[in-house]
Amino acid sequence: LGVDDFNFENIRILPNPFRDALSIHLPNSLNNENFKIDIFDLNGRLVFKNSEPSINGIINIRNLEGLQSGLYFLKISTTVYDKSIVKRVMKL
């Protein structure tokens, strides 16, 4: 997989809005990679940080029940390539 093949365009985040967990569904080209997951509140404060593997193209993020209801920014970064994407998610 070359850097030119790396593409985050087809990422799906489910459910959105979420309660205590999210699943990030990745394109097939990103299977079985490690990812850094950061969640920021609207003030830019880091409220969650973890490193997670993708298993069969899915990253499962759990233990988010401690976050307050509201809008957050989810940053997904590869640990192999210098690429990342930010998506908006809503906590119920």
How much is the pLDDT for 26? 87
User: Which contiguous run of DSSP H or E holds residue 76?
Assistant: strand 70-78
Residue 44 CB-density burial (10 A; 0-12 exposed, 13-18 middle, 19+ buried): exposed
Task: Please tell me the predicted confidence (pLDDT) of residue 29.
Answer: 65
pLDDT in tens, 43-77: 999 999 999 888 888 999 999 999 999 999 999 99
Model confidence pLDDT, tens digit, residues 8-23: 778 899 999 999 999 9
Whether the predicted pLDDT of 3 surpasses 60: no
Is the pLDDT confidence value at 4 over 50? no
